[in-house]
Amino acid sequence: GKITCVYGVDLFAKILDALGKDTLNRSRYYSYSAVTSSRSQTLSYLLANTHPDKIDTVETLRQALKGKRISKKRLIESAMYTPEWIGLIGEYLEIPSFESIVYYFMAHIDDQFDDRRRAMIARFTPLSEEELNLGAFDLTWFYSAVKLIGEEEFELIYDSAKYIADGAKHTRARKYADAALGKYSVDELETLILEKRNKDYLMAYPLIPRLNETVICRRYLFLQRFLKESKKFGSQRIASEGKAYEMAMKNLALSAGYRDTMRLTLRMEAKLLDDKRELLLPQQIEDYMLQLVITDDGTCEIVVTKDGKSLKAFPTKLKKHETVIALTDLKKILSEQYRRTRRMLEEAMENESVFTVAEVTTLMEHPVVAPMLSKLLLMTDTYEGFWCKGKLVSSDGREVELDDDALLRIAHPFRLYQRGGWRSYQKYLYDNAIKQPFRQVFRELYVKTEDERECYYSLRYADNQILPRKTVATLKTRHWVADVENGLQKVYYQENIVARIYALADWFSPADIEAPTLEWVVFSNSKTGENIKISEIPDVIFSEVMRDVDLAVSVAHAGGVDPEASHSTVEMRSAILSFVLPLFGIANVTLQEQYALIDGAMAQYSVHLGSGIVHQIGGSMIPVFPIHSQHRGRIFLPFVDDDPKTAEIISKILLFAEDKKIKDPTILASIVRY
């Protein structure tokens, strides 16, 4: 049989002596054979399986090495090659922080740790194994280790890092070290990243030293540019580059001294505006007055007036004026800020991120963020309401003064569902014509059923046929990733939860022959791989995952189901109609499950709240062909999303509720009158 473990400093020293100047075999765990293996492969195999004996000390190691011509370089390579010897070799070579810097290189490769390495690495950094594998970097650990080590020793350890793992996994740790030591310039790395789209370089980029707020802002904008350019690639590459972007943002936040990426984002977005705030004032150019106006929803536009009258078209002769160019650039910056901040606020709601009163106060000073945040419902552990100068104002007008140490979250509808005040806030939005930047109060909610709670799988979407590639494309912006082995999955790193959509599908094929069928949705522990009972999944995570699956089933259904026909969207439309109908004085419409039933003057009708198809009850379908542009601005919807289908369906219901006013001859010909 094979030799799997040998002990003692004597054997260790003899193996190193026998190796001489031969190069160690990089594939330590190859399929060893005494017949086919070379001398250096055999000795490398033995070295990889040596361990210090219980009685071995630095003195016994010194005695074993005495008289043998074994270099410092070879001993450092051996420590990298066989981690069991790190402690003794570090003591023998008398290199300060030897263990720390060796374990730095081991921690920052994209590889799994054994129990011993995991325990040792935990001594040096608070970052988890998952964070390190994904590309997080502990700058404090690195600098504290490098500070005590000599340049010669560091170079030897740096060169020996290739023996940590097979292949090129060690190169990430080297790139990080080079960046942190200032061996790369910012311009050099930006060029490399954009030309090669190298993710390790991207995550190393924030580590380049000499940070100040202007430099941080430049790097922040560069990372945003990288993420934006990812959208032109396929879904797999978008997902992998998205992960690298997230870790690069984390590295930038930690390097710049921010607690998390959200705080970094908030500060950088504020700085981008601070540097150009004077351009928000009216600008006089000849006889024209120009002003960058931020609208009530946070978007912006340049308004041009002459002699007090607003002009519809921008004067051609002004387009090359330096002030106009500056205003146009600022408009672009603010538009990008709107997009980024809107995404960040929605993710903050989904993650239930915590804000201090001071942070919310600062956000409300930003002209792009304030219009969005003021329309979002915030909550503490006790109260909820809309922000108003340090107070929360509830739907019934009650005001609660907030203490300076109060912690706030953007309320997820599940929390409103728990407290029982959800519908009152829906009515408040509609009565006050408040249009939210994303679906919050009217967000589709999914609650665990009693049958599901004690199960490890949810079967609520079983037997739906879906188009794999369309499903991947639909969910890619929601952080779902198609994995060759594990299928379509979404990882919640903080909670150590992986959600997976299971189907007998090749997620990378068009499914031209037969569309696969969804089987179940399952949640598992990202560390152990064990499935988690649905009752133990946080309710907000469960709701958001099911919302994503519902979206996929609706949009990517093999039968071509209308993309707005999901069960959750039907419920949302029913809620909106419950507020719309009384405003129009409509009393002859009944909402029943997926239908609006209308008792008209000429006949009775049903309108499907998913598809918008109109039927005469006891008769046939009535052809009503919408012109979507007619609905815009006429039907108020309490969220920013462009949702012409909802406007169309509401318009049809209002039309047939007053069917005596119908003039269209095609519609009238289809109605069989009483």
Residue-wise pLDDT for 32-53, tens only, equals 555 456 888 888 888 888 889 8
Mean pLDDT for 473-478 is: 80
181: phi then psi, degrees, rounded to nearest 5: -90, 0
User: Between 246 and 567, whose confidence is greater?
Assistant: 246
The answer, yes or no, to whether residue 569 has pLDDT greater than 80, is no
Work out the pLDDT band at 542, boundaries 50, 70, 90: very high
The rounded percent of the chain whose pLDDT value lies above 90 is 22
Strand partners, 392: 387, 400
Q: What digits encode the pLDDT tens for the residues 488-514? A: 888 887 888 999 988 765 555 554 445
Q: Which helix (H) or strand (E) holds 304?
A: strand 300-306
Mean pLDDT of the chain: 83
Sign of CA dihedral 103, 108, 109, 110: positive
The rounded percent of the chain whose pLDDT value lies above 70 is 89
Mean pLDDT for 421-446 is: 86
Give the orientation angle of helix 98-107 with respect to helix 171-180, to 10 degrees: 120
The two beta strands, 457-458 and 518-525, are antiparallel
Q: Give residue 23's pLDDT.
A: 86
Which residues 6+ apart lie within 8 Å of 310 measured at CB? 303, 304
Q: Give residue 625's pLDDT.
A: 65
Mean pLDDT for 168-196 is: 89
Our separate counts of H helices and E strands in the chain read 27, 22
Work out the pLDDT band at 564, boundaries 50, 70, 90: very low
User: Between 538 and 470, whose confidence is greater?
Assistant: 538
User: Between 222 and 547, whose confidence is greater?
Assistant: 222
Q: Give residue 629's pLDDT.
A: 47
SS3 247: helix
- Rounded Cα distance between 289 and 642, Å, is 32
Note whether 19 and 47 are within 8 A (CB).
yes
Q: What digits encode the pLDDT tens for the residues 219-267? A: 999 999 999 888 888 777 887 888 899 999 999 998 888 888 888 988 8
Choice among 146-155, 364-373, 547-556, 651-660 with the minimum mean pLDDT: 547-556
Note whether 103 and 120 are within 8 A (CB).
yes
Of the candidates 90, 55, 67, the residue with the CA atom closest to the CA atom of residue 16? 67
Give the orientation angle of helix 72-81 with respect to helix 39-48, to 10 degrees: 60
The answer, yes or no, to whether residue 565 has pLDDT greater than 80, is no
Q: What digits encode the pLDDT tens for the residues 586-627? A: 899 998 878 899 999 998 888 888 777 788 876 666 877 665
Choice among 75-89, 140-154, 269-283, 638-652 with the minimum mean pLDDT: 638-652
Work out the pLDDT band at 562, boundaries 50, 70, 90: very low
Q: Give residue 561's pLDDT.
A: 46
Mean pLDDT for 410-422 is: 89
Work out the pLDDT band at 110, boundaries 50, 70, 90: low
Q: Give residue 407's pLDDT.
A: 93
Q: Give residue 642's pLDDT.
A: 58
In total, the chain counts a number of residues equal to: 674
Mean pLDDT for 60-72 is: 90
Q: Which helix (H) or strand (E) holds 650?
A: helix 644-657
